[in-house]
């Protein structure tokens, strides 16, 4: 399992996501599914960029800045 840090460019904003999964393809599908659940109206996604990938283990973390 890996933790993925994603930068998602929507029509009017940029959001960051942390998603856990086994493959790059899996997390891209999961990211889109989570975006649809999070926003009231499904957002128009312009781009999803994989910023960083780390092996998931106890203590693995990301620091997110604004």
For residue range 1-54, what is the model confidence (pLDDT) as tens digits? 999 999 999 999 999 999 999 999 999 999 999 999 999 888 999 999 999 999
pLDDT confidence of residue 62: 86
Cα 38 to Cα 43: distance, rounded to the nearest angstrom: 9
Q: Provide the whole-model pTM.
A: 0.86
pLDDT confidence of residue 64: 83
Residue from 52, 66, 63, 65 nearest 19 by CA: 52
């Amino acid at each position: 399992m890996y933790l993925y840090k994603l930068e998602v460019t929507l029509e009017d904003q940029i959001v960051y996501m942390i998603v856990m999964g086994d493959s790059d393809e899996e997390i891209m599908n999961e990211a889109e599914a989570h975006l649809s659940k999070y926003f009231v109206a499904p957002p128009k996604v312009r781009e999803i960029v994989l910023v960083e990938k780390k092996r998931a283990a106890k203590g693995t973390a990301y620091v997110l800045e604004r």
